[in-house]
A and B are shown apart, each in its own frame.
Chain A
């Protein structure tokens, strides 16, 4: 079985400060890892993914994430947060096989204060 843990329900940062949203995963074999963001009354928007290769992946809106195989983590980061980054962030995993389903974490609410 595959699963994702997002240990923080909420993250609060000041605008301009670095933002980190934590994610750890469990999957058989190599993982596909994803981050999605959800704004109020909107669907889940794809931010970035890790499939293979460089452990640091860059995505939309200045976000990046670092894959750490030994710690089974895929933390989302942004060097300088904006108020507009306030949203609900989901980490997701799927197995590196002919397997279709994404397994999501519970989500982390990010609030960036001006």
Chain B
């Protein structure tokens, strides 16, 4: 069964450094998403992406964040200058169409020290 994959599974970085989280969505899916879950809190929506542009973003997704689909398979989330409060589990998801269910990857645990 096709699944969303994410790399790395765990990333440790120092405050102020740039990080790139990588995702490979399911191959025939057209809509891509990033969510995050701070420890002990709810899963929160960050951004959705379709047709090579952001279709929706939350207030969390400020200028420090960016997304890109650099080729036909990868979908990345970049955090330009990490803060301590960016420490969280980041989930990538994809869906076949905007009103279909979203399939989630296993997550990348980001630890900012």
Binding site for B on A (CB under 8 A): 32, 34, 36, 41-46, 49, 51, 90, 92, 98-107
Evaluate contact between B55 and A100: CB separation under 8 angstroms: yes
User: How many A-B contacts if CB must be within 8 Å?
Assistant: 51
A44 to B3, CA, bound (A): 11
A103 to B102, CA, bound (A): 12
- Name which residue of chain A comes closest to B103, CB basis: A46
List the B side residues contacting A106 at CB < 8 Å: 41-42
A36 to chain B, nearest CB (A): 7
B54 to chain A, nearest CB (A): 10
- Of B11-19, B68-76, B80-88, B104-112, the one with at least 4 CB within 8 A of chain A: B104-112
Evaluate contact between B4 and A105: CB separation under 8 angstroms: no
List the B side residues contacting A92 at CB < 8 Å: 43
Interface residues of chain B: helix, strand, loop or mixed (majority): strand
Evaluate contact between A100 and B48: CB separation under 8 angstroms: yes
List the B side residues contacting A90 at CB < 8 Å: 43
Evaluate contact between B102 and A46: CB separation under 8 angstroms: yes
User: Can you show 24 pairs from A to B with CB atoms below 8 A apart?
Assistant: A32-B99, A42-B106, A43-B4, A43-B6, A43-B105, A44-B93, A45-B104, A46-B101, A46-B102, A46-B104, A51-B99, A92-B43, A100-B31, A100-B48, A100-B55, A101-B45, A101-B48, A101-B56, A101-B58, A102-B102, A104-B42, A104-B43, A105-B42, A107-B42
Evaluate contact between A36 and B104: CB separation under 8 angstroms: yes
- Name which residue of chain B comes closest to A45, CB basis: B104
List the B side residues contacting A103 at CB < 8 Å: 45
User: Closest 9 interchain pairs by CB?
Assistant: A101-B45, A100-B48, A44-B104, A104-B43, A43-B104, A43-B106, A100-B56, A46-B101, A43-B105
